[in-house]
């Protein structure tokens, strides 16, 4: 390089020699920005198509599209009760399965009185073994089962180390989540596949996407329900059975009649159920509620180590 007598001349020479690299980096930056913008537009379109457009169109005839009867397991859960009532509002008859039918008596009576459809109670505690399958088989019989809804049992949704759980608690969590959902689906699916119509909805939680500190068994059960749904979709989707994995964020446990809800980020069960049912037949894996979809997308952007650190800090405060 020729001798230089000023810093400015040296700077111009260096800038000229590096101009091709600067242009390359600018092109890479533009492509990266364009790809992120395209993803954002796609996500916004998906959000509108899934959560808003279905609620603007004319209500669907769910009985004609899927079937006359719905089997609801985990029926003592607030979301399951609300989902059952929402189906009943569309004229679907309900079979409620719960280890303790006393906890769902009011729901069954409300479904029959308010919506004018039949509601059947089946007491089935899968911790007692396969013998509980018989009353479920008898209840299903030759009915036109159009819906199977399995809801996660959240009764053990507390922060506890794995070794602090008794064998009985572990057995209860696995049977009331993994075993119940699997066997109830197994009992109802043959008729749905034969008729080539129906829907299987497994309701777990957003925690299925990442490990949750001090909730090892429950977190694994969430992941099972999500993975089970996605696999069933590939096995039976071509046979007319729509399989959906619902992964909601927090939903309040307050009933529909309670005053003052928890806000739009934490909806009441009946609000969530109404939104979630509108996504049936459209998305195979969704939170079911548009604010939860935004939360879930943001959660996926968090690195796992930061996610786990946040959970450890939360555990210390509880």
Q: Does residue 207 have a pLDDT over 90?
A: no
Looking at residue 1, its pLDDT comes to 47
Contact 239, 193 (CB under 8 A): yes
223: region left, alpha or beta (phi > 0 left; psi from -120 to 50 alpha): alpha
Higher pLDDT, 262 or 311: 311
- The 10s digit of each residue's pLDDT in 255-274 is 444 444 557 889 999 999 99
| pTM of the model as a whole | 0.85
pLDDT band at 231 (very low <50, low <70, confident <90, very high): very high
Q: Lay out the sheet containing 145-151: strands in order across.
A: 119-123, 93-98, 69-73, 145-151, 198-203, 241-246, 285-286
* Phi-psi domain of 93 (left: phi exceeds 0; alpha: psi -120 through 50; beta: other): beta
Please list, in sequence order, all residues whose beta carbon lies within 8 angstroms of the beta carbon of residue 54, skipping any fewer than 6 positions away: 278, 279, 282
Name the β-bridge partners of 198.
Answer: 241
pLDDT digits (tens, 9 = 90+) for 86-103: 999 999 999 999 988 888
């Amino acid at each position: 390089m020729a001798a230089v007598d000023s810093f400015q001349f040296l700077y111009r020479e260096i800038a000229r020699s590096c101009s091709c690299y600067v242009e390359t980096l600018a092109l890479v930056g533009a492509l990266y920005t364009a790809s992120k913008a395209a993803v954002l537009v796609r996500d916004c379109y998906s959000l509108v198509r899934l959560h808003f457009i279905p609620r603007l169109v004319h209500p669907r005839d769910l009985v004609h599209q899927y079937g006359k009867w719905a089997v609801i397991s985990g029926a003592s859960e607030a979301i399951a009760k609300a989902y059952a009532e929402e189906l009943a509002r569309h004229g679907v008859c309900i079979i409620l399965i719960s280890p303790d039918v006393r906890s769902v008596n009011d729901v069954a009576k409300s479904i029959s009185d308010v919506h004018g459809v039949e509601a059947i109670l089946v007491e089935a505690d899968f911790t007692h073994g396969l013998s509980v399958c018989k009353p479920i088989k008898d209840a299903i019989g030759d009915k036109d089962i159009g819906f199977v809804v399995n809801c996660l049992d959240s009764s053990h949704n507390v922060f506890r180390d794995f070794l602090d759980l008794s064998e009985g608690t572990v057995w209860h969590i696995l049977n009331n989540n993994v075993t119940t959902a699997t066997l109830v689906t197994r009992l109802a699916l043959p008729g749905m596949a034969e008729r080539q119509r129906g829907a299987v909805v497994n309701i777990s939680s957003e925690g299925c996407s990442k490990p949750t500190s001090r909730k090892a068994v429950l977190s694994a059960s969430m992941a099972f329900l999500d993975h089970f749904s996605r696999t069933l979709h590939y096995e039976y989707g071509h046979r007319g059975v729509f399989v959906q994995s619902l992964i909601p964020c927090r939903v309040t446990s307050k009933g529909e009649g309670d005053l003052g809800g928890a806000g739009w980020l934490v909806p009441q069960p009946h609000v969530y159920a109404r939104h979630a049912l509108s996504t049936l037949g459209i998305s195979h894996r969704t939170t079911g509620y548009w604010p939860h979809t935004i939360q879930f997308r943001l959660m996926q952007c968090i690195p796992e180590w930061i996610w786990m650190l946040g959970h450890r800090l939360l555990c210390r405060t509880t």
